[in-house]
Amino acid sequence: MIRVGPAGSCGLGNLKGVSKCAEMDLDCMEVEFTYGVRMDLKTAKEVGILAGEKGILLSVHAPYYINLASEEKEKLAASKKRILDSCQRAHAMGARNVTFHAGFYQTRTAEQTYERIKKAMVGLQKQIARRKWQVKLCPEVTGKPSQFGSLAELLQLKKDTGCGITVDFSHLYARQQGDIDYARILKKLPKKFHAHFSGIEYGPKGERKHIRTTRKHIRTTKEFFEPLARELVKRNPDITIISESPKPYEDAVMMKRLIEEV
């Protein structure tokens, strides 16, 4: 099953966002904690109850300010806390997948960065298990080669730790300078995974910004989503695909309709 929905509530608040998803016949929604976890547990439970009533599958995006490879103890501790705070709210609202950008290479080698992030992930998973939270850590494919988060790195992390992954196809497009083969990528992925998508502008250093993915933007739709939609339909994976465009609801509707058409 391919579920499609928006990132965030576009300022409506999460309760109204869930209702809007249902009204627009969308399937899922990602609750955004990108600038901080400011939702209390009571609200999280209310959002989860409403999502269950409306048939909307929830996921969570943890704050941007995370670096599990940091050598500064305070920054590493703060990063872990932001992830755990996100996981606590995700569990309260019944959201399974918790996505985040895992870290940066900075002055370290890719191998050193990987080992630091793997160690942090194992520690976080132990804390999640101890608290009996029903969530899965899903580090995200990132849009710049300077960031940890290539598809190969995350698949290895999944193998080594049992974590999930968030496959951001637009980030892959930017990271690989437009050289992307969706069929080849999907063959490497598990049958079930969490995904992001939008149009994207990129340069020599990778991602610049997310852009619309609508029929009015024919070049964007043809280049980015229609080829992916065709490959997804061929394989019919069990995925949630979240629209991260500047107009996430409208573009999620377009994406869902295009999937149904192809």
pLDDT digits (tens, 9 = 90+) for 62-77: 999 999 999 999 999 9
Cα dist from 144 to 30, 126, 252, whole Å:
22, 30, 24
**What is the sign, positive or negative, of the torsion defined by CA atoms of 135, 191, 201, 213?**
negative
What average pLDDT score do residues 224-250 get? Answer: 93
Threshold 0.85, pTM exceeds: yes
How many C-beta atoms lie closer than 10 Å to residue 46's C-beta? 17
Confidence of residue 206 (pLDDT cuts 50, 70, 90): confident
pLDDT digits (tens, 9 = 90+) for 148-197: 999 999 999 999 999 999 999 999 999 998 889 999 999 999 999 999 99
Confidence of residue 216 (pLDDT cuts 50, 70, 90): low
Cα dist from 36 to 39, 40, 90, 104, 236, whole Å:
9, 12, 14, 19, 35
106 or 96: which leads in pLDDT: 96
| Burial of 24: CB neighbours in 10 Å, binned 0-12, 13-18, 19+ | middle
List, as one string, the DSSP characters of 81-107: HHHHHHHHHHHHHT--EEEE---B-TT
Distance between CA atoms of 241 and 59, rounded to whole angstroms? 10
How many C-beta atoms lie closer than 10 Å to residue 117's C-beta? 23
- Token pair listed for 125: 């998973």
253 or 215: which leads in pLDDT: 253
Give residue 178's pLDDT: 87
For the chain, domains (ranges, CATH) are: 2-261 (3.20.20.150)
Give the three-class secondary structure for 28: strand
Q: Is the pLDDT of residue 223 over 70?
A: no
Give residue 211's pLDDT: 87
